[in-house]
Structure 1
């Protein structure tokens, strides 16, 4: 580690505040804060104590730091905010604390958003909360694509279902690669079927000109599943469901629940 230290809460090595925050030593952290230690000191890679606590899901330390004036939207060298790190840890408690102190759910980042990180960690609870407070479902990362791409690549089906039910674009593309291409690559039949039920285009071609079925091994379960859907048209009821869900747009479940139609139809449209 570099050994230089600047005055005024600037570049330093990891400080005792960083260490206490990361380890969840809340009593020691409180004593450091009371003795005047700076809560916004950053390491050479721009990590603040709040980043360190958030990444480890140390909710009590997060609370102490925020109450002491820690910058809630500070960015590290990768551009990540403490909210991104809390989502990466899957700590719903830390996420709630950061949001309560005004953390931006859609920070202007060129890297993965908090929603991407929640999908990467597989925390459907964090995904649901972020969507409820206005997370951009189509936030695009140059490496990962949309949050749906991430959830599919990591095979987090619960997160995929939450995203799709909230109105995420099932056919969003990253270099023309859709979530269904990811599902075929990870050979997950349940994921493939879920995406198709929500209107996934089995004929979509990526930048190599390949359909999702081109990534499935011949005679494997995913290949047979995709082959079935390529040869068998969706039912009229399924086509109507997809069309209506597309028409209701983002957060369409709220609108569907208010429709003056039988409960069974609402359940069907809600994919229950």
Structure 2
């Protein structure tokens, strides 16, 4: 079989510049037999296209688990970055390919790669795509709940902005800071803009500040549409003090932080209270 070659212009320690090769194409389309033949014929698994995309990026963005494994077994660099700084793990998280995410992690992919001005973390990507199972997996492997992206804020901001309620629940239960701000904008601002009452109630239950003001001096309630359930909900929260039960829950969870999911079930409390504290 004829193998594509590239002009020998060396690019760092990852490979050579080239147009999109047959290896890239086979990985993207999930053509495992073709990919295996190319590898056995000596094709480089780390060759990069002009946008710095490797075959592993191509396989990961399409959830081609078999091709991902073939590439990794052949020596593909698991944390290679494309022109935007995204790793294959970012790509797999973005489409919610649980198997690919799991496989990349098994091969040592960094859960918290260094962020740049153009890069989001794998956890951000999972939240952006609404992939709650991938969010759970990333958190279980040590993903930073407060990883900060200049354009999007924290993973919680991303999940709320994209109205992915299940991801919001996972993040909050894991100990994400509910009042973390980007340009003074909190997750509750995002939920209010979306007029998502269920998300608003959830955030407030976890201690979201209904009086927080963003860079425009606006509270979350200022972004709801008038006369909507979300508007009435935030007006009620603003005018009614939280109950002692709610305050106790918020204080306990704030004190425990990311340890709450493990610590609360060990407390000598009735199951209904534990479920309430953990918002199960």
TM-score, length of structure 1 as denominator length: 0.97
Q: Which residue of 1 aligns with 2:26?
A: 20
Q: What is the rounded CA distance, in whole Å, between the counterparts of 2:276 and 2:67 in structure 1?
A: 44
Would you say 1:178 and 2:162 are equivalent positions? no
Q: Which residue of 1 aligns with 2:75?
A: 69
Q: Which residue of 2 aligns with 1:82?
A: 88
What is the RMSD of the two structures over their aligned residues, measured on CA atoms? 1.1
Q: Which residue of 1 aligns with 2:134?
A: 126
Q: Which moved more, 1:5-14 or 1:57-66?
A: 5-14
Cα distance change of structure 1 residues 251 and 19 upon mapping to structure 2, 3 Å threshold: farther
Q: What is the rounded CA distance, in whole Å, between the counterparts of 1:109 and 1:58 in structure 2?
A: 25
Specify which of 34, 39, 48 is matched with residue 42 of structure 1: 48
Counterpart mapping for 1:94-133 below 5 A: 94-110=100-116, 111-133=119-141
Q: What is the rounded CA distance, in whole Å, between the counterparts of 2:96 and 2:239 in structure 1?
A: 40
Q: What is the rounded CA distance, in whole Å, between the counterparts of 2:229 and 2:42 in structure 1?
A: 62
Would you say 1:240 and 2:248 are equivalent positions? yes
Specify which of 52, 55, 60 is matched with residue 61 of structure 2: 55
Q: What is the rounded CA distance, in whole Å, between the counterparts of 1:26 and 1:71 in structure 2?
A: 18
Identify unmatched segments of 5+ residues in structure 2: none
Report the alpha carbon displacement of residue 251 of structure 1 after superposing the two structures with TM.
Answer: 3.6
Q: What is the rounded CA distance, in whole Å, between the counterparts of 1:105 and 1:190 in structure 2?
A: 30
Identify unmatched segments of 5+ residues in structure 1: none
Q: What is the rounded CA distance, in whole Å, between the counterparts of 2:28 and 2:242 in structure 1?
A: 51
Q: What is the rounded CA distance, in whole Å, between the counterparts of 1:258 and 1:41 in structure 2?
A: 51
Report the alpha carbon displacement of residue 261 of structure 1 after superposing the two structures with TM.
Answer: 2.1
TM-score, length of structure 2 as denominator length: 0.94
Once the two structures are superposed, residues 98-157 of structure 1 have per-residue CA deviations (whole angstroms, 9 ceiling, x without a partner) of 000000000012221000000011110000000000000000000000000000000000
